[in-house]
Each structure stands twice: as structure tokens, then as C-alpha cells.
Amino acid sequence: MTEKELSSLLERLQNEPDETEWLEFKDSRYDPEEIGEYLSALSNGACLAGKPRGYLVFGIEDGSHEVVGTHFDPFREKGKGNQDLIMWLSMGLQPNVGFIVHQLNHPKGTVVIFEIGPAWDRPVTFSGKAFIRIGSSKTELNKHPEKARAIWTRKTDWSAMIREGATLSDIDTDALQKAREQFIIKHPNQIAEVESWDDATFLNKAKLTIHNNITNSALLLLGKPEASALLSPAVIKVSWILKDDRNRELDYEHFGPPMILQVDRILGRIRNLTIRTLPSGTLFPQEITQYDPWVIREALHNAIAHQDYGLGGRINIVETPSSVLIGNVGGFLPGDVENVIRQDAPLEIYRNPFLAEAMVNLNMIDTQGGGIKRMFEKQKRRFFPMPDYDLSRSDRVQVSIPGNILDENYSRLLMERSDLDLWQVILLDHVQKRVRISTEAHRVLKAAGLVEGRYPNLIIAANIARLTGQKAKYIRDRGFNKKYYLDMIETLIREQQPVPRSEIDRLLLDKLPEVLNTQQKKAKIHNLMTELARTNRAENRGSKGSPAWYAKARPAINNE
């Protein structure tokens, strides 16, 4: 802010009748810990009061609101651990909704103003505790559960917030032209009207601005690269990272606003190689690219639309030789992917509804809720593995798009069985990837004759194996009968006794069903040894920590 703007702001604050939940005056006294607690309290108070900012002002007498000046210099003071005060305060605030420190050289003395953004959708804490102002006192928020609930339930839309100080000059001209083109594609019946609109009218009509005021969404999608500073502490950045098959980083690039232009540039960095070692046949192409650009574009647009910008994270795209992983911060609001695919209905809630509506108007996403489902359908039509969503963390969503075929025979299955619906294909995809499916999903596949085995260790059913040429794989997955394993163990013991358990493991581990993990295989071997001992075919004469197995003498056969 300019000196004039700061003077005007200070005058407005001085004219407030009393200190409020979002405003606190101090003279010269300060303590680093107390400043952090006040920033938490004022941010939470601004949220409850519906104010765009909270203010902590030094150099003002409490009561009279007169300027008395202060010797406090926040840019030279230290926090705990001898860290710079501003950095120390920033690290202590969670989420860091962003604060700016102003110094005003007033005729009556120096005034320092801390300006902090409001909390949205969760309380702001400092050093793990949330605070609030009650009257003229600062107190812990947990002592006032009704106010805490109000903050949690007050879903302020970050993307619709007016960005103070931003003007049309912060909008990139190329991005604006791209926005007009995409708006016409989305609304072809408005071509004549769009061409007659000036820039300010277009931005209002496209739901990027509000009454000519620049919003966070407008800067995110159409802002000049330097406009990202206006959106701080939100991080408007997509990082593309290229890794090799040993997880070593080979290359990277960061992309900021305007996001409407950057998506194509990011797609240009991803190496969409041509695969030539695919199943042959008249129904399947000899060559195909690793990725469908639409699928990656849809996943990236979803990450931009649903990012929780209050958490200060970036969107990451990690490219490996076999996949592209796209991750954004913020939980998956629909709950699980199954709901999205099977219900095939629009989302009931959006994290950034203003941004989502703007992206719809610019032909970037679809409000009908079918984007994710179409990603799966496109992978199915290409006979590729399904996208993998990782929703294990409540604060992050990651989707991995496979860029290779895991099993050529499985692709042939999709070619031959055109009668399989999308959900059956997704469940079979889980079975192929050894991902545990629900008991209900197991019943669906079992009823269709697509899988067999004991839940949860499922394998492709024998009839499907014969159809797709997976007979050998089927036998390896299924394993052999119990007698085969018992006879092998007994032969080893009789010929090599005493035999330690490690030798028995070495004999059988690679012969047991591949669907079992190592721990499950060892448990199965333990059960086999127990049966040999129970039937008097072998015995353990070693100690508990060092077993030594011997064969027991077989009863003599009376030939008389």
C-alpha cells in the first residue's frame, strides 16, 4: 500500500467505536508468542464477523484510539529460537491464511499494522492452539465451542474472494483471448454477444469477476505470472517432475498463472511415447500412445478446481516411464470414486464453487459429474489399466494414470468380453493389480464367473484364463493341491535330515500361489508342517528358535 492508502486504512480503523473480534490496538508492548496468538484470534474473529481482514495495530492507545507511536520494528525483531519474527510467525500459523505487515510514518509516531486474512472452513491455530477475542479479551477457542462450530461450518469460498488491489492490468491478454475462445465453444449461441463485450463485461459474464472486482479465480486462471504474489499465501503452482524407473529425478518445471494457458504447456512436457509391443489383432491397434491427452487434461483440471488453496500446497505431476501421477491438497469430497462412477450424478458440493463455475464457462470442466467416469471409460476403450485413485490421506488426493499394459492377455480379455460393464472392468482391474476389493464386489465378480479363489486372495477364473491364454498364469496363481506340497517337504526331510525351517521355506516359497504375499506363504508352510507332525510323518527335534525337522519312521509292512 502507498502511504496515502495506509493513512486512509488507519483512519478507518481508528473510527471503529470499539475493539472488536477482528481488531486489536496496542501501544508499544509486544511479545512474539502473544502476537501469534492475536493473529490466530483476529483471523478467526474476521471469519465470524464476515470481514475480509483482521487487524493488529501497534502505536495506538487502547481506548482513545489516538496515535502514540511505537519503537516496535517487526522486520528486525526475533521470534523464538532467534528466528526472524515474520518467518517464525508464518511457520506457527496453521493454516497460514496470509498476513502482511505495514509500517506507517505518522506525524505522531510510527504505526505498525498486521493485516491478516480470515479463517475459512477451519479455525486458524498458532503453535497448535486456536484463539478468539471475546469482548476485549483474547482466549482459547476451545472454551467457546459454539464459535468453533460456526467457523467449521462457515464455508467461505476462497475462489470468490475479491482480491484487493488487483485490477484489469493484472490479467494476461493472451489468457483473456483464450478465455473468450473457450467461452464461445461452451456457449456457441452467444458468439455475437461475446464479440460485443468489452473485457470487463466479459469477465463479469464468464463469472470470473464480481461487479468488475477481480477475484482469486480470475487471477488464478487468467492472471499474469507475477499476479501469483497477490494470491499469497495460497500457492498457485503446478510442478512437473520427470523421474526414471529408479525414482531418480531427471527434469522438472514449475508453472504458475495463468492456468488456462499452462495446462497445454504442461501436456507438452509429458512424454507421450508410442507403444509398439501391444497385442496384435484386428480389433486392437498395432501402435498406440501411452496416454490419452483428454484423460490427463481432465485429471489436471480437476486438481486445479478442487485444490484446497488454504493449505498452501502445490499441485504435483510426477511422470515415470510407466505412469503419470497427479496430486492436489484437499480431501476427496464425494467420499470415494465408486460413488462418482456408479451414481454418475453431479457433485452436491464443491470446494471452490465460484472457480468451478468459471471453469465450466471456459469449457475446462463439466458440472454434470461425468468427467471421472469418462476417464475410466476412455482407458477401457484403449484396453489400458484403469486410473488408480489414492484417497488414503484426508488432506490429499492422488490419481495415477497408467501408461503401459500390465498384462497383454488381460487386454485381450477386454477385447473379447465386450459385454463387461465398466464397473466389472474396474473390479477386474483391481484383481489384476492385487488390490483388495470389497466383499460385495467379490460377490459381483463371483456371480459373473470372472474370479475364483478364497477371498480376499482372488485370481482370474479358469474359464477366463483359457479364453485369454492365461493358463500358465492361472496355475501359478491358484497353486497346487496340498498333497503335492506335503510330499515335497517329506521327501526333502527324509533325504537331507535334519532340515531347518529356512530350507523348507526356500523349497516352497516360489511354488506357492503368486496371489499370496510372503507372510501369507510362510503361514501356509507353517500349517503344512503342523499337518506333517500331526500325521506322524515328521517331527521337530530342535529348539523353538532353531527348529530341526526329522522324518519319522514309517510303520513296517507285514508281508506274511
pLDDT value at residue 487? 86
pLDDT value at residue 404? 81
pLDDT value at residue 234? 86
3-state secondary structure of 458: coil
Residue 419, judged by CB atoms within 10 A of its CB (0-12, 13-18, 19+), counts as exposed
pLDDT value at residue 119? 86
CB 521 within 8 A of CB 476: no
pLDDT value at residue 553? 73
pLDDT value at residue 358? 94
Return the ∠ at Cα 302 (arms to 299 and 304), rounded to 5°: 115
pLDDT value at residue 558? 45
Name the residue among 5, 3, 41 with its Cα closest to residue 23.
41
Distance separating alpha carbons of residues 204 and 198, to the nearest angstrom: 10
pLDDT value at residue 554? 64
pLDDT value at residue 340? 74
> Which residues in the chain show pLDDT less than 70?
1, 19, 154-155, 276-286, 335, 343-349, 367-369, 406-413, 415-416, 459-481, 514-515, 554-560
pLDDT value at residue 300? 95
pLDDT value at residue 1? 66
- Give pTM, 2 decimals: 0.62
Identify the structural domains of the chain with CATH numbers, from first to last.
3-156 (3.30.950), 418-478 (no CATH), 482-551 (1.10.10.10)
Distances (CA, A) of 395 to 213, 304, 445: 31, 15, 32
3-state secondary structure of 189: helix
Distance separating alpha carbons of residues 68 and 195, to the nearest angstrom: 56
